[in-house]
Structure 1
Amino acid sequence: MRQSRRTVALAGAVAAVVVGMSGCSSDDGNGGGGAPEAAGAEQTAADFLTAWADGDTEAAAALTDDPEAAAAALTEFAEGAGVSELSATPGPATGADGAATEVPFEVTARVTYEDDASDWLYDSALTVVRQAADGDGDEGSDGDEAEDGGESVRIRWSPEILHPRLTEGRTLEVGPGAGPPPVTALDRNGDALDPDEHPTLKPLLEQLAAAHGEQAGGSPGAELRLTGGTADTDAEGNDDDNSEDGEGGDAEDGDEVLLQLAEPTRGEVPTTIDPELQRIAEKTLEDSDRSALVAIQPSTGAILAVVNNPGDDENIALEGRLAPGSTWKIITAGMLIDAGLADPAAPHPCPKKFEFEDWPFQNLDEFEIKGGTFTQSFAASCNTAFISAAPELEDDQLTRYAERVFGIGLEWDTGVEAMTGYLAEESKAQMAAQLIGQASVRANPLVMASVSATVKDGTFRQPFLVPPSFDDRELVTADGPSDGTAAQLRALMATTAAAGTAAEAMAGVEGDVGAKTGSAEVFEQKKPNAWFTAYRDDLAVAAVVRESGHGGKFAGPLVAEVLRSAGGAGDD
């Protein structure tokens, strides 16, 4: 597979120059400074084209009015374009403008890159002018000395002579096609994922080509392209050089493909997407604007569905950086249980308000639970039940726990770009706010689906979209919760799904289920971001609906519908 571009020098080029002698006289009759006669112009043009085709850069450059610039451009053309053979056939000289005579010509070249080669045909032209001879006398082709002495016939140098689109600042380059080899993404059943059928996956499928094109068995093809500058277009906005061989195509970053030596070939990249579950998730979110959802298989970590609505917006599902609100309390609860600061069955305070480091915290609508247990506080999403533990915690305790147990912030190699959660080390009120998923805490549906999957399975399994066996990459590991803590977290989430803030959304979702709601306040947003994460048997799902409201009302029905409709989706 090609890894980089290389240059191919002009070697053994054979000229096939046919001089057209039918041009009209263009002598202005003033004996100097005017346009050369047609015959002289054609001869000078023929000599230049012959030297160029023969690879005699010095001789060709000497026939121009700027030999140094011409020599550099001719050398760069031969090497950059990968031209191995070239012939140039001039046409008859055309009418002069009083000072110059134009000679059109046709180029036929053979362009080679590694094992690929193609013929390159295009038209160009050069301009022949008179110029004063230097003091040493001009040396050039036969007949390039003006008969009246003191002047010589020269080609007015311009890089466009070599190709009409080779304007100043642009260079020719032969090599593999721009970008990675194209790929076809396969679902978990080995069938092609059609981006038209799953439009929300288009950004991910493009990432797969960039990330795995080299391993996928495809090829970027080979092409000759102009780089740098801006391609010219005609008055109607069309390419101004569309010759019969199909050159003149557009390419990314302002580059322009002049010749396709070999078409790209597609490789195949396997994914873990479950096509049926993906369709369910897409349909579920189609009427919910500014939403994103991820589904994961807890027993493996395989990502089964990814949806962003709108699909052409940023990839919130995998790359979003949003405060997760109270869904984060799953992680905080695990930390408090492990630290002996909470026991699901024991009484736990849930006052209306709790002040920490001069910062007041309160529950939604200032509710309170008198004499309740930690399970009740968790199910009701009592903020103060968590904030009240802040005085007993170290500043970095939650950060360390989230990374060690749930893999938050580790470098998950999912196969595509992903943000794996973040929380900075905070102190005082900001540290307390982190306990309820605010302050510097950042997550996305991928992260929160992974949290639910870790609780359900009892083991942290790094999520992945491309199976690690495809490219032999290693997945990161984390400790996961202890068996006892995992069991208690499952019980907390089950109670929330049955009788807590998630109960209304989860009604009718049968099986081994658990859930947690979240509503994250965002500065200068009128409404909070709605969050919901849940599991059913071997399927964990999380969703966010930005600037909508309460998680149980706006994100919960989306997650529940996917869980309810999935049936056996995700099962091996």
Structure 2
Amino acid sequence: MRSGAKVAVVGSVFLAVASGVGYGAYNVWNGISSGNVGGDSRTTKATGPLTQHEVEQVSREFLSAWAGGHSYKAAQLTNNAVEAEPILAGYTSTAHVRKAVITPGAAAGTKVPFTVNATIAYEGSVKQWSYSSELVVVRGLTTGRPLVEWRPTVIHPNLKQGDILKTGTSEAPEIKAVDDKGRELTRAKYPSLGTILDRLREKYGKTTDGEPGVELYIDSADEQVPDHSLLILAKGKPGVLKTTIDADVQAAAEAAVGSYGESSVVAINSNTGEIRAVANNRKDGFNAAFEGSQAPGSTMKIVTAAMMMDQGIVAGPSSRVECPGSVAWDGRTFHNLKDFNLSNATLQRAFARSCNTTFIKPVKPLNEKGVAGTALGETARKYFGVGEVWRTGATSTDASVPPSTGADTAASYIGQGKITMNALTIASIAATVKSGSFSQPIIVAKDLDGRKLATAQPLPDSIGQGLRAMMRAAATGEGTGAGAMSSVRGDKGAKTGSAEVDGQGTSNGWFTAFAGDLAAAAVVQSGGHGGDAAGAIVAGVLQAR
């Protein structure tokens, strides 16, 4: 055993320790030095399922080599040594790990969990760092040897392809983000804000009066993904950054999505466009509320109704419309839920009941004008700012209502086809209806960086009043949103939606609503009817106003 390295095997618990300024070296099994795991490479290629012994042996050898600082040897125990070796080497050279204790847990099939307790040392700053990860053992395609399946997440669960672990002086000072009333917003208290706070720090940290410190962080390979701090070694001075978030509404949003998996919600001040809350509950950690691109389903009927009034197809909510159980358009048949139909219906009642055919059949005259495939996108841009570039202050994905042809045109009128939006977009649409005028959503003041915000024309009074009346009808009485909105007090309006997704058995559920000066929208993947899970989320947020 070389000086500075210690290895202990106690029962089924393996500890690999590399101590001192440099790493020591120690081979528990001959496979590390010979390059062979489980026998001589000249023997017959192994096949079939991996045995427990093979899984435990190669995982322990890999963890031993990694903890011992032997990046080349550890890489050779993976199925992609070329990619693995520089990441493993960077554990010492760029992350500045000076000691590592890696403890594997009990294998579950081919999966082996483990914990890492490491010491980071950089320019006189020393800090302990602990986390958990896991590896998977596979059989090598060419040799049949058991090997660790290489993924960056083996080194750290948040590490992605091309990312680098680094320790050094941070590029931007830490921020103390506060809400609109000056209350601090932390990742620990509001988990959904984590990636947003990272982005705000990256974009605006240098504009504050803060001073950078020394930290271990993930240097992201994706320019759209902010660097992620993992450990503070020497604190700098955080700079205060004011956001538009309301801590009370944010707390309600976090709690609301917590009850439904794969869900997202956004709340906006209807009068100003200031974002009051954003929350996600997703296994992948993706900020789908801001960055998603999904068909919005029947919540799009808000814009379609505006288009119908703007084009003179209907005069307003009291106009008589048809609502048959189904309607054909260019060889494709579109149906209402369970083919329900309404006789002698008004536009308001058809909207409140979410009649699909009402928003397809009467629009056919637009074909004669030659604008059937473009009118919806023009309306969305003209009155709702959809299609413009939104500079919110954080990373967000702009909505798209592209020109359409054939049956895609009919599908677009009910929020299907090639239309893509997210909860941020739909919340803004509801906010525009409530206030009568579009205000581009923001999470930090525009004068912070002088960015240009998107603009749109105010809704004509007749259209604005009509849309508010229809959304109020959808939130009360026989409206599809009445159940979800029954607990919300005061003046309120809503729209439900469900969007079919190829290969997904259950539709995504959408819901948007306004109450007071707050508008919100939620989407739940495979959530079914919008008035169910998505409706409960939005109602929970609106009650916090």
Fold-level similarity (TM above 0.5): yes
Aligned-pair RMSD on alpha carbons? Answer: 2.5
Deviations 1:78-100 (A, max 9, x none): xxxxxxxxxxxxxxxxxxxxxxx
Q: Among 236, 252, 257, which residue is 1:285 paired with?
A: 257
Counterpart of 1:30?
none
Deviation of 1:505 (Å): 1.0
Deviation of 1:454 (Å): 0.3
Q: Distance in 2 between matches of 1:357 and 1:490?
A: 32
Query: Using a 3 Å threshold, how does the CA distance of structure 1 residues 192 and 492 change in structure 2: closer, same or farther?
Result: same
* Contact kept? 1:381, 1:501, Cα under 8 Å: yes
Q: Among 192, 204, 223, which residue is 1:200 paired with?
A: 192
Counterpart of 2:347?
374
* Contact kept? 2:262, 2:283, Cα under 8 Å: no
Q: Distance in 1 between matches of 2:213 and 2:255?
A: 37
Counterpart of 2:287?
315
In the alignment, structure 2 segments of 5+ residues that lack a partner are: 1-122, 126-166, 222-226
Deviations 1:429-487 (A, max 9, x none): 10111000001111111111101100000010111011223333332211131111100
* Contact kept? 2:256, 2:536, Cα under 8 Å: no
- Paired AA for residue 267 in structure 1: G
Q: Distance in 2 between matches of 1:280 and 1:263?
A: 31
What are the equivalent positions in structure 2 for 1:226-305 lying under 5 Å apart? 252=219, 264-305=236-277
Give the paired residue count: 367
Does residue 215 (structure 1) correspond to residue 207 (structure 2)? The answer is yes
Does residue 396 (structure 1) correspond to residue 374 (structure 2)? The answer is yes
Counterpart of 1:132?
none
Q: Among 494, 505, 521, which residue is 2:500 paired with?
A: 521
* Contact kept? 2:506, 2:528, Cα under 8 Å: yes
Does residue 538 (structure 1) correspond to residue 517 (structure 2)? The answer is yes
* Contact kept? 2:322, 2:362, Cα under 8 Å: no
Q: Distance in 2 between matches of 1:294 and 1:543?
A: 7
Counterpart of 1:437?
415
Q: Distance in 1 between matches of 2:218 and 2:269?
A: 40
Counterpart of 1:505?
484
Q: Distance in 2 between matches of 1:317 and 1:221?
A: 31
- Paired AA for residue 397 in structure 2: M
- Paired AA for residue 208 in structure 2: A
Deviations 1:538-564 (A, max 9, x none): 01011011112110122111111222x
Q: Distance in 2 between matches of 1:367 and 1:294?
A: 32
Query: Using a 3 Å threshold, how does the CA distance of structure 1 residues 427 and 401 change in structure 2: closer, same or farther?
Result: same
Q: Distance in 1 between matches of 2:288 and 2:427?
A: 13
* Contact kept? 2:511, 2:522, Cα under 8 Å: yes
Q: Distance in 1 between matches of 2:210 and 2:258?
A: 34
What are the equivalent positions in structure 2 for 1:78-97 lying under 5 Å apart? none
Counterpart of 1:555?
534
Q: Distance in 1 between matches of 2:485 and 2:218?
A: 50
Counterpart of 2:317?
344
Deviation of 1:404 (Å): 1.2
Q: Among 413, 436, 440, which residue is 2:391 paired with?
A: 413
- Paired AA for residue 291 in structure 1: S
* Contact kept? 2:295, 2:415, Cα under 8 Å: yes
Q: Among 183, 186, 191, which residue is 2:175 paired with?
A: 183
SS at match of 1:370: strand
Q: Distance in 2 between matches of 1:119 and 1:290?
A: 44
* Contact kept? 2:213, 2:235, Cα under 8 Å: yes
Deviation of 1:250 (Å): 7.8
Identity over aligned pairs, percent: 41
Deviations 1:387-438 (A, max 9, x none): 1134222121111110111000211111101123112211111011100000
Deviations 1:28-71 (A, max 9, x none): xxxxxxxxxxxxxxxxxxxxxxxxxxxxxxxxxxxxxxxxxxxx
* Contact kept? 1:350, 1:370, Cα under 8 Å: yes
SS at match of 2:321: coil
Deviations 1:71-118 (A, max 9, x none): xxxxxxxxxxxxxxxxxxxxxxxxxxxxxxxxxxxxxxxxxxxxxxx8
Q: Distance in 1 between matches of 2:406 and 2:173?
A: 51
Deviation of 1:369 (Å): 0.7
Q: Among 449, 452, 470, which residue is 1:471 paired with?
A: 449
Counterpart of 1:385?
358
Q: Distance in 2 between matches of 1:528 and 1:454?
A: 26
Deviation of 1:361 (Å): 0.8
In the alignment, structure 1 segments of 5+ residues that lack a partner are: 1-117, 121-174, 224-248
- Paired AA for residue 338 in structure 1: D
Q: Distance in 1 between matches of 2:489 and 2:233?
A: 58
Counterpart of 1:455?
433
* Contact kept? 1:200, 1:310, Cα under 8 Å: no
* Contact kept? 1:348, 1:372, Cα under 8 Å: yes
Q: Distance in 1 between matches of 2:523 and 2:498?
A: 9
Q: Distance in 1 between matches of 2:218 and 2:341?
A: 62
Query: Using a 3 Å threshold, how does the CA distance of structure 1 residues 279 and 428 change in structure 2: closer, same or farther?
Result: same
Q: Distance in 1 between matches of 2:124 and 2:418?
A: 60
Query: Using a 3 Å threshold, how does the CA distance of structure 1 residues 367 and 195 change in structure 2: closer, same or farther?
Result: same
TM-score if structure 2 supplies the norm length?
Answer: 0.64
Deviation of 1:216 (Å): 2.2
